[in-house]
């Protein structure tokens, strides 16, 4: 868990994306990019990293936090 928290908090955009999905529950990549004011290719890369770490999952066209992702996002909020 500590390693995942460090991974997420090591990049401001990763932290923002996790927080965004923590509050909005699920969103598609285009909407995430627009909401975060980040270019889509950057968001796609961050999503890919978070899916690889099993913090995000794809549901149809949308992405949402996994159970592990929810736990990590809550832990980061409490730091």
Q: What is the CATH code for 2-77?
A: 1.10.10.10
Torsion angles phi and psi, residue 53, rounded to 5: -85, 5
Identify the CA nearest to 24 among candidates 68, 56, 46.
56
pLDDT digits (tens, 9 = 90+) for 5-30: 999 999 999 999 999 999 999 999 99
Q: Full-prediction pTM beyond 0.85?
A: yes
What pLDDT sits at residue 60?
Answer: 97
The vertex-21 CA angle with 20 and 25, nearest 5°, equals 130
Q: What's the CA gap between 53 and 65, in Å, rounded?
A: 11
């Amino acid at each position: 868990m500590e390693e995942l928290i460090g991974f997420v908090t090591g990049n401001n955009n990763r932290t923002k994306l996790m927080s965004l999905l923590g509050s909005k529950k699920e969103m598609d990549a285009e909407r995430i990019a627009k909401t975060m004011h980040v270019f889509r290719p950057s968001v796609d890369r961050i999503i890919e990293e978070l899916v690889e770490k099993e913090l995000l999952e794809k549901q149809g066209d949308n992405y949402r936090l996994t159970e592990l992702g929810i736990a990590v996002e809550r832990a980061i909020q409490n730091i």
